[in-house]
Structure formats: structure tokens, C-alpha cells
Structure 1
Amino acid sequence: MTRPTALAGLAEEVTCAICLDIHSTPVSLSCGHSFCKQRVQQSRQLRPQVPFRFPLCHSQAEPAAELQPNVQLRSIVEKFLDAPTQEKKEDGEMQSEDEDESSGPEDGVILCDSCLQEPQPALKTCLTCEASLCQAHLSKHRTKSHLKDHVLVEPCDAQVLAERRCRQHSKLLECYCKTDSVCICVMCCVTSSHKNHEIIPLEEAFGQVQKAFPETLKALQKHEAELNQRITNLLKQEDEVEAEESLRRNQLESLFEQMQLQLENTKAEVLTALRQNEEQQLSKIRTQIEKHQEEKDAASRDIQELNVLKHQKDMLLFTKAFEAIRTRKRNAVPTAAGVTLPTPPILFDELTTDITLRLFQQFLSDTKALFKDLPVCEHLTVSVKHLNGFHSNATRVYAPPRILYDFLHDLHAFPNNQRATEQVQSNQSFSGGRHFWEVDTSNATGWKLGIVQPSVECYLQTFADRLCVFKGQTMIADKGCPVALKVVRVELDCRRNTLAFYNASVKDGDPAESLRLIETLSIPSIYPAYAIFYTSDGYLQLL
């Protein structure tokens, strides 16, 4: 070994681990390490009531422990100072530069545990010593041969250091249990529940997770992208809902404004009719009053003339004047107290008021039901029996006898003494809610559409150019069949127990014109109900 190298090693031995300067009055502690007496005393004065921790080994000593001068070390220091080398100077300059670089600690940084007066920011933390080291103390730590095996990590505080140790055995977490996917210490491998598990070194586990890291990151990024897309879709849906609700709100307000306008117009029409009727009645009464007033005035004049005449002494004059008064024409006075008046356009009595209010309440109930419970479109099918090689789509009903169907209901006799006909009914039954189905009748003649219940059939049927609505054997309505009738909509409301038929031939254009009511009838509240179909020629197409 050359002299400069030997002196460099000697400089390390004669340097105080606290002040990082050559020992001045070195003293020995009970742990065997030596430090400058002045530095140790300063450390004790800063925390007089706390046990003193030795900077290198971190063992504890009482504050009142006696400091023993290290005479031999002091002699070595004196000899070392008498023979300085260039290497020592360079080492001092490098140490000074390191101190300059590590000066100025910022808030929140981990400070060196070996610095006593002005702690410098730590560059590494020794897990074995459980101490954080600045650049200067880290250089000393690395040069110690017995400290070279210590594990150095990025600076961390006491809480992180505690997490690096096993809570059960207070040992470093140096192994990884693949069975339980947890980091464990060596003692856990042989004494705890991990004894028979698959254990690998922490370094190997780190290598494995490093390999799995890109795939995991990619999967999480994909998951994040999917969530972002999901959120975007939900936000778009939210905007659509707000827009649709705004449109519905505007439509509803417009609807009620129109209803209110029509109600006001009807009110004005009724009030006008009542006012006109009143004027007619008063005019008739006044005409009679004027007529009778004229007759009364004439009678009064006759009475006055008679009162004057009774003083007449001349027989001739009296007789002529009296006969003239008596023979004057006078109309008989009617015995009735008044005159016959025109009938009012509307009568308001308790019964009429009650009926009007009940109809209005029913209208409000129907309006609420319309908004709350919209009818559901049912795409019906029917069961078909194959016969003589013929077959049929389950959404078409052909005229018999080309195809015969399974009868899920007894044969029904048409009204007007027609022969019994074969009809089919839907596979699906209805027991609640509102439903509708539409049927194309343009390729059929003599058709019949409706429902069958356990006790009765209700249906719409064509007779020549007539549309007839039946409830059992009773005809409810008889109307002319529209020339443009092609599509019939059957609407069943199980809650209100009603069956309605609509002309749904118009599919485009004004929505108000797309459905024209043919007839609505009340049905028994007995369910289930099935849709029924029949045609005497051609076929019916279920839409």
C-alpha cells in the first residue's frame, strides 16, 4: 500500500463521525466508539433528559455517563496532523463540495440522523442501522468494511422504516410469499403460517413484478379508457335525457295550453248561447208586457168613459155611447202566470253537475293513465298445424281450409246465423298492463280481430262494407268501413278493462292523423285474454 493511500485510510479513522473533522480532544464512550468531547457535550446539552444515542451504533447511554479521554487516539491525531498530504486536501475539498451541495434543506425532506447542529438532507437511509445519512456521513458509512453489507434505500422516515419490518418479528421484509401475495421476513418463513408456502427472495419477486408491470399498466390503462368512455356515454345520455325531458315538458305545456284554450272557447260558446237564450226569453216576455200594457191602457180609457157616461141623462146619447164602449174588441187574458219560453241550451241541476264532474274526473284519470302507462307493442305469433303439405309463417293467418290451426279455444259461431268458423289465437296471453298489436288486413276479406276471455269474445268484424264491433253476441257499433282501411291497431288496457280499435293505415305525416279511433268498448275484468284472428279469404299479416 502506498503512503497516500495509507494516510487516506488513517484520515478516515481520526475523523469524528459527528462533526466530520479531525478529532479534537477525543473521548471514548461505553460502546467503544470515539468522538470529539465538545460535540458529545453539545449533544447532551440539547436533550439533557433524553438518553444519548451513539451516532454510529445507535446504542443508548445515560446522559450522566462519564466521558473517558482516548489518549491513544489523541496521540495518533497529533502525528497525523504533523504529516498532511495532498490526498487529504483533495478529500477535504471534495467533502466541502458535498457539504455545499447538500446544504439548504427544504421543508419535508428527510434529514440526516448523524448531524447534530445543522442536520443536512439525507441521500440514503440504511435499513440495518435504521438511520438516514447525508452525503458526508454516507461516504463514511460506505468506507466501513463491516457496514458494506447494510441495505441502503432512498431516504424515508420512521413510519416507512416501520413498514419495512415485520410487525410480528421486527425483522426486515426480505422474502415474498407467493401463496398469500405478501412480503414477509425470514422468521415468517420458518415459524409462522407461511412455513409450507411457496417463498421466494424479495429480489426475485421484484423481477417478476417488473415483468408483469407493463401488462398490468396496459390493462389498467385500458380499464381507465373504458371507464372514461362509459362516463362519456353516460354524460351524453344525461344530456339526451335533459333534452328529451325539456321537449316533453314543452309538449305537455303546449298540450295543456291547447286544452285550456279549447276549454275557454267552449266556456265562451256556452255562455254566449246562455246569453242569447236569455235575450230571447226576455224579448218574448217584454213583447207580451207591451201588448198587455196597450190593452190595459185601452181598458182604462173605457172605464173613464163609462164613469163620465153614467152622468148622461139623455137616453139616446147614453145608449149609443154605452154600446160603442161595450162592443169594442178585447182579447182574453191568458190564465197562465207567464209565457212559454225557449228551452235553455243547457240545464244545470244537481244531476247534470254531478255527471259533468264525474266525466271530467274520468278525463283526468284517463290523461294520467295515458302519461303513466303507455301501451307496449306486442309482436304476436300463432300456433300452426301442418296439413297436406301446406305450411305457414307464424305471423300470418290464412283463410281456411288451406291451413288449419291449433284451436286453443272452442269454435265460435258468428252472429247473424253464420256457419261456425275456424279462428286462431295468439300464443301469448295478457293479464295486466296496456298492450297493442297491429294487423295488415289489405290482403284479406271477411276478417275478424279482437280478444277472447274465459267468458266472452270481443272483436271487430267486417260485413261487406260495414265495420261491426261485438261483445259476445251483442253488437256494440255498426259503422261504414273506410276505403283506405289497411292496418288495424288493437289496443288492450287490462287495468281499465277496455278494448279499442284504431285505423292505423297512415304511418307517415301528422302523428295526430296516424291513429283514428274506430270504437272503444268495456270488457269484463276476467283474465287471461288472448288475441284472436280470422279471415274468410286471403291472409292477415301480424306486424
Structure 2
Amino acid sequence: MASSDVRCKQNCSICLSTYIDAVTLGCGHNFCRVCIHRVLDTQDEAGVYSCPECREEFPERPVLENIEKCYDAVERDMSTQPDPEEITGILCTYCIHSPVPAAKSCLLCEASLCDHHLRVHSKAAEHVLTEPSANLEVRKCDIHKRGLEYYCIEDAACICASCSLTGKHKGHQIELLDEALLKKKKWLRNVSDNLLAKREGNVSRIEALCKHITDVHERAQATNQSISGLFIDIRRQVDDLEKVVCSEISRQEEQMSLSVSDLIQHLEIEKDDLHRTIVSFQQMSLMRDPIVVLRNQELYRYNTGKIDTCTEDDMHTIGDLDILPISYMIHRAMRRIIEEANSRGFREPTASGILLDINTAGKNVAVSDTFQMASWSEVSPNHQATSKTFQSCQVLSINYFSSGEHFLEVDSKAGGDWCVGMSYDTIDRKGERCIIGHNDKSWGLRLWSNQYSVVHDSRVVLLPVQPSCKKLGLYLDYEAGRLSFYELSDPIRHLHTFSAKFTEPLRILCWVMGSSLKFHRGSLVLLRKILDNTKEVQF
């Protein structure tokens, strides 16, 4: 019972295991450092700290102190504790009248002896004494039936003296069991220390991940607040824009109504004048006196075409609603809204145009006059080799990408093999590691024997999709560390996304063999379609 109490004092009352990196509270109770840290972390919100064992409260978070002496106490206690065989009650074989605990066991006699019988026991070398054990056979050599005295280092086996002299362990490096035990314990302590460090590393990583989750939550809340403020401003600006546009439409409507009213009034007057003139002409046409008819000045005015009357052209001068200023106001306001969104960090990705750097083109790579297409050529083009020129059939772009989001399109020629992606400018220009994807400075999508694969740092991963389109899309989000490839088919198909922490500016890099790749500015319509469907894409 006393032994059980001692062992309880060596165990942490939280995890119920032997102390690991033991610490003590002010009340004197001991715990594992990690265990008590977790308990105190849960008490942080309440602001009241107490010992998990005695419930003594502390006004502030208690300072934890190391207990190096606890380890010594555990080791001393464990060294004084009886072996499991003793606890089971190994008794002296010769004390038949009353049970007496055995002090040693003799492997030759296969008997256990108390202190009294041990004094009269034979001291001959063949009588090997060991700690009391109920099963003495396990301490004997299976072949020679002698006590195990040595440890074979080469075979990692416990052996007897005969095994080391004549058996299969002859000539092997051996040592006494006690020496081997000390080395084994030292090794176990080293392994335990390493495991403890690894466990603490796991705890640190868990804490870092929890902190990351908290940081993401805080950033999400801040982003939500920023978005809410942005949309409040957008709604206000849209409401103001609606009022201005509606006011402009009403102004144009009112102006046209006044113009039409004036024209109608003019036409009404003219209509009445025409009516009177018609009646006068009809009356005059009935007259028989030529002098009266021929001298009539009104008749002369109409006859010479000098009559002032409204025509169809007057209708056109009135016009219709003028949409141009309305459209201008709408688009100008929309641009202001986009500029405001950009100023708050919500930038729209740009569709990038690509120009190839002929100074980096390998000897079998032909670059078009527009510097937008790279083709494989059996006849080496007349490139002037420089320190930037690749030894392989590939070429870099002039364009650099060191921030933001970018989208571009690539057309591939039917037949042949190719690889396209992005690379740091510091990529090697010679040797096998200069090829795209065969180093840690480039990321590529490859078509080889009509099979898609992605390659980075010499690791090739086959993609479980068959090529169905000759047009590709590349989408780079530099800050997010994301490079995605798409087939611009209908519907658009996501092929693969690399995730990395980019540390240098990126350039487009392509490799061609019996094929060609043409780069051009990406379509913003396709880009928006891709971004709208990112929830369906499994990155």
C-alpha cells in the first residue's frame, strides 16, 4: 500500500502519467508543464486561477517553477521499488514451514533463496545468482542451458559464456549484461529526451496553428467590416448616381416637352392661317373678275413658294433622349467606385500581355517577330548566345511579376510536347536542372505524349484528365502564393494549382519540343468567369 502511495506522488494528477518537465505551483502541488499550462489557459477568460488538486486560488496567473529534484526523487524511488517479480511474491524454495521472501534465484539449482539459505548456498561459478524470478528458464540459454551473462553487440542478443566461446556468437563483440544495461538505459534516456523535445515541438505547432486560426478570424472580421463599409459607400454612391441620372432624364424630358409644346403651338397657329387662306383661295377661285384675282398679293406669295410653314425637319431638330451624357455619368461613377475598391485593397486582377526575351531562347527555339510565340526549330535560329541563354529548348518572358494577380492565355500547336509555367530569373541556364520543373525555382504544366502532368523540384505528378483543348489559362496570385492552370474549354476546366511562398519576381518560362506556344493578353471575361467559379474548383 505504501508503494502505491509513493507511485501516486510521482504521477501528474491531470494526465495520471509520470511527470514530464515537472513544475510546481505556490501551493506545493506538482504537474507536467504542458498539462498545467492547458488548465491555466482555460482559466484565462474567467480571470480566476486555482490549483486543480487543492483548489487554492491565486490572484494572478501563477509562475511555474521547475522541479529538478522531482526527477531525482522518481529515480531514487523507482530504484528502491521491488521488481514486478517481487511484488507478485517470489518466495524462498527451501522455507517450507513459513513463506519467506526470496533474495536471489539460482539458475543452476532453479530455486529461489532467502537471505538465510543464500549464506549456505554454493559459491561455485556455475551457480549463477539473479534477481528473484518465477520463470528462471527465460534467464537461461536455450542451447546450453546456462545462465545469460553477456550481451552480443553484433546480434543484439543475451548469451551465455558457452555461446561466446563455441557457439554462433564466437568472435563477436560482447559485453557484460550490467554494462549493456547501463548503455541501454542511457540510450533510452536520450530517446526519451528526443521524444520530449518532439512532443514540445508538437505543442508549439499546435499553439501556432491555434494562433493562426485566431489571426485568420480577426482578419476575416476586419475584412468584413471593410467590405461592409465599402458597400455602404457603394450603395450611397449608387443612390446618388440614380438621383442624378433620373434628374438628367427628367431635365431632358422637360426640355423636349417644352420644345414640342412650342412646335405644336406654332403648328396650331399655322393650321388656322392655312384654313383661312384655303377659304380665301376657294372664294377667289369662284370670282370671274381677272383683275381682282391677279392682283391678290396672298396668291402671289403662295405661288412663289415663300410661304412660312413647318416641315418634317422640324421634328428631327427636337430629337430624343440623349443617352450619351447619361452613359458617361454612369461609367464615370462606376470608375470612381472601382478606384475606391482598389484603394481599399480589393484590386481586380489584370489581364497580362507577354513578350518573350530572345536573349534567353535556347538554340532550337525560334521567337516570332512579335515576341509572343516560341516554336521548336530543327535549324538553330541565328541567336547571339549570352550568359542568359538557355542550353535547353526553352525561353523566358521579358515580363516580371512581383505582386498582384495576373491572368494570361496560351495557345498550343497540335502535336509535339511542351511545358509552360513560371520561374525565378535566378534559374540555372545550363545542365539538367535548368529545365522547367527540374529545380525548386520553377513550376510547370507539361504535355508529354498527350498526357498532362505538373512538375516542380524534379517531382512529376500525372494529372487524371485528358487534353481536350489547345488553349490554356494561367492565373497567378503572387501574395497568396498560388499559380493555377486551366483549360479554356467550354466549360472552363481547372487542371492544377501550385501553392508556394514566392520569394523572388516571377517570369513566364516555356519549353517546346516539336511544338509551339503563343502568348497573348488574357480575356477579362474569362478571368471573371474563372474567379466566379473558384468555389467549384478544388485546389
Q: TM-score, with normalisation over the residues of structure 2?
A: 0.31
